[in-house]
Amino acid sequence: MSAVCAPLPGLRAALLAWFDAAGRDLPWRHGKEGQREPYRVWVAEILLQQTQVVRGLQYYGRFLQAFPTVEALARAPVEDVLKAWEGCGYYARARLLHRAAQQVAASGWPSGYDGWRALPGVGPYTAAAVTSLAYGERRAVSDGNVRRVLSRLYGEARPTDAWVQARADALLDPARPGAWNEAVMDLGATVCTPRNPRCPECPLVAHCAAWAGGTPTAFPAPKVRAAVRAVTAVAVLIGDPQQAVLERRGGGLLGGLSGLPMREVAPGESLAQALQALCERLGAQSGEPLGQVTHRMTHREITLHVYAAHAPLPRLEVAEAALSRLDHKALALWNVRHAGLFAGA
Q: Which of 33, 45, 280, 317 is catalytic?
A: 45
CB count within 10 Å of CB 149 equals 30
Q: How far is CA 59 from CA 84, 94, 194, in A?
A: 8, 12, 24
Pairing assessment for the beta strands 262-264 and 229-237 based on DSSP bridges: antiparallel
Give the integer Cα–Cα distance in Å for 210 and 213.
Answer: 5
Exposure letters 273-298 (e unless 16+ CB within 10 A, then b): ebbeebbeebebebeeebebbebebe
- Sheet with 285-297, edge to edge strand ranges: 262-264, 229-237, 300-310, 285-297
Give the integer Cα–Cα distance in Å for 84 and 246.
Answer: 18
Give the integer Cα–Cα distance in Å for 300 and 163.
Answer: 30
Is there a catalytic annotation at residue 45? Answer: yes
Give the integer Cα–Cα distance in Å for 152 and 210.
Answer: 5
SS3 (DSSP) at 302: strand
Give the integer Cα–Cα distance in Å for 146 and 164.
Answer: 8
Give the integer Cα–Cα distance in Å for 200 and 49.
Answer: 29
Give the residue numbers marked as catalytic.
45
